[in-house]
Amino acid sequence: MLVAIYVSDSVNPSYAAENKIKLIPHGGNITTALQGLGWNWVLEDESINYLPDEAVVLPRHQADDLLRAADELYEIMVASVPEDLPDDFLCQLGIPENLWKLVRHSWNDERHWHLYGRFDMAQTPDGPKLIEFNADTATSIPETAILQWASLAAAGKHNAAQASGLYEALVAQFKQWRDMNADLEPSLVLTYMEASAEDRTNCEVVAQAAQEAGFNTHLCPIDQINVTVFGEDRGIWAQVGVEQWQRFSFMYKLIPWEQLAWEEPEVITDLENLSFTRTIMVVNPAYTLLFQSKGMLAWLWQNYPHHPLLLETSFTPLTGKYIAKPFFGREGQNVEVVVNGESVTHIAGEYDQQPLVYQQFCDFPQDQAGNLYQAGVFWAGEACAIGYRRAEGIITNTSQFLAHILE
C-alpha cells in the first residue's frame, strides 16, 4: 500500500468564495496572423468561437497553484502504478489486452519518453481539482503555445505575462528523448488523421519543436505510412519526395492507442515487433494509456483517498450528485450527470459501450454571464502552460478557447 503524502494546501483562503472568473476585453485581432501561418481552420465556421475577444485574468498565485498541481498529480500518478503492471491492474483500467506487452515494455524502458499531456482541472475554493488527464493525444497545442500569445500581442499587451511556455518545454523534451536514443537516426514522422486540419496543425507545432531539437521531421497522414516488419526494410516508411521514401526511427502519433488496439490490432502487433527490436520509438508511449484511462481517476482515489487535488471517483456509482464518464471518452462524449440516482444531463457520443467511472460533481468557476471555465494545464516534463476552455455546460469540442493574462 502506498503512503500518501499530501503537499498541497487543502484550502486556500485567497480564493474568492464565489469562485468567479474575471475577464478583460482585449480586441486583439489575429486573423492576419492565422492566415499568414496557414492556420485557417481556426477561422472556419465550426471553430468560429475558438478565440473570443476576451481573456481570463488569472491571479499569479492561482497560476502557481495550477502548475504545481499538475506537477504533483503527475508524480502521484507515476507512484500509484504497481510494479510489473499486474494483469488485474491493466484489466481494472480497461487497457486492451493486445496492448499489454507494449504498455509493459514501454513502462520498463525509460527511453520510451512521455512527451507531453494536458491535465484538465476545475479551480474551486478548495484549490484545483483534477477532472481528467489527456496523457496520450492531447490537442489545443497551437492555441496554448501560439494563439493565446498572439491575441494579446495583437492587443498591444506587451508588458503582460502569460503561462504559455509549451513550445519551449516540447523542445526540451525532444532534446532529452533524442539524447536518450542517440543510437537511432534522428528522423521523426508525425502522423495524424488526414481529414482533420486541426490535428495537422497540432502536428505542425510539434514538428517545429522537434526540428529545433535536432530531428528531421515529416508530416504524414496515418493511412499513408508504410509499416514493414520483414527483412532489411523493417521499419516505418513515408514518401518524402518524388520516388523517394524515407525510413523513420521515431514516430509521433496523434492517434489514440486504444483506437489502434481496437480497430487496427495488426498494427499493434507490428509496432510491438518494431519496438522490441528498437527499430521505432513512439510518442506518446503506450504506457501513457494508463494515465489516459479514466479508470486511473478511481485508482488514484483508492490509493490517495481524499487527496486535496482529487475528486472522489469510483468504479461503482456514488451517492448525491456525480458524473458518469466512459474510460476512453473524448471531448465530453457520453458524459452523464446524475443527481440522487437520476440522470439530469446526458451528452450523446460514440463511447456508450465502454465501462464507466463515477466522479463526484464539481462546480467550475463562472464568469458573470454564467459560462463555466476549465483550465487545461500542459505538462511536458514539467507543468509549462495553461489554456482555458469555456462552455455553458459540459466542456465539449465546440467549447471556446480563451487566452489568459497573469495579474
Partner 1 sequence: MKRKYLLIGDWKRNVLIAATASCLGLTACDNNNQANNASSDWSSGETYSQGVITELTEVSPDNWKITDERPAGAGEVAAIVKHYDGKVDTLKGEALQREMQQYASVHPSNVHGTGMMDVLMWSGIGYMAGRMMSPNPSYYANPNVMQRTSAWRSNISQERSRVSTGSRSGTFRRSAPSSGRTGIFSGRSGGFSS
Q: How far is the CB of 320 from partner 1 (least distance, A)?
A: 28
Q: Exactly one of 85, 154, 180, 391 binds partner 1 (CB under 8 A); which one?
A: 154
Q: Segment contacting partner 1 (CB under 8 A): 1-9, 86-94, 102-110, 150-158?
A: 150-158
375 binds partner 1 (CB under 8 A): no
Q: How far is the CB of 164 from partner 1 (least distance, A)?
A: 6
Q: From CA 365, how far away is CA 375, in angstroms rounded? A: 10
Q: What is the DSSP string of 310-348?
A: ---EESS--SSEEEEEETT--TTTT-EEEETTEEEEE--
Q: Exactly one of 21, 150, 286, 323 binds partner 1 (CB under 8 A); which one?
A: 150
160 binds partner 1 (CB under 8 A): yes
Q: Exactly one of 38, 82, 86, 320 binds partner 1 (CB under 8 A); which one?
A: 38
Q: How many other CB atoms are found less than 10 A from the CB of residue 1?
A: 5
Q: How far is the CB of 253 from partner 1 (least distance, A)?
A: 9
Beta bridge partners of 127: 124
C-beta of 338 vs 357, nearer to partner 1: 357
Phi, psi at 374, each rounded to 5°: -115, 130
Q: From CA 186, how far away is CA 183, in angstroms rounded? A: 9
Q: How far is the CB of 227 from partner 1 (least distance, A)?
A: 4
Q: How far is the CB of 247 from partner 1 (least distance, A)?
A: 4
Q: From CA 201, how far away is CA 221, in angstroms rounded? A: 12
> Omega before 181 cis (within 30°)?
no
Q: Exactly one of 116, 174, 177, 192 binds partner 1 (CB under 8 A); which one?
A: 192
Q: From CA 403, how far away is CA 202, in angstroms rounded? A: 17
Q: How far is the CB of 399 from partner 1 (least distance, A)?
A: 11
* Number of residues lying near partner 1 (CB under 8 A): 99
Phi, psi at 197, each rounded to 5°: -65, -35
By CB under 8 A, the residues from 334 to 353 that bind partner 1 are none
134 binds partner 1 (CB under 8 A): yes
By CB under 8 A, the residues from 41 to 70 that bind partner 1 are 60, 63-64, 67-68
Q: How far is the CB of 19 from partner 1 (least distance, A)?
A: 23
C-beta of 109 vs 270, nearer to partner 1: 270
Query: Which residue is it, cell 479551480?
Result: 123
User: What character string, x for contact with partner 1 (CB under 8 A) and - otherwise, covers 282-321?
Assistant: ----------------------------------------
By CB under 8 A, the residues from 217 to 276 that bind partner 1 are 217-220, 222-228, 230-231, 233, 235, 237, 239-247, 254-256, 259-260, 263-264, 266-267, 270
Q: How many other CB atoms are found less than 10 A from the CB of residue 350?
A: 11
Q: What is the DSSP string of 102-154?
A: HHHHHHH-TTS----EEEEEEEETTEEEEEEEE-SS---HHIIIIIHHHHHHH
C-beta of 13 vs 231, nearer to partner 1: 231
Q: Segment contacting partner 1 (CB under 8 A): 283-291, 302-310, 363-371, 380-388?
A: 380-388
Q: From CA 195, how far away is CA 261, in angstroms rounded? A: 21
Q: How far is the CB of 190 from partner 1 (least distance, A)?
A: 11
Q: What is the DSSP string of 8-58?
A: S-S--TTS-TT-BPEEEE-----HHHHHHHT-GGGGSGGGTTSS-SEEEEE
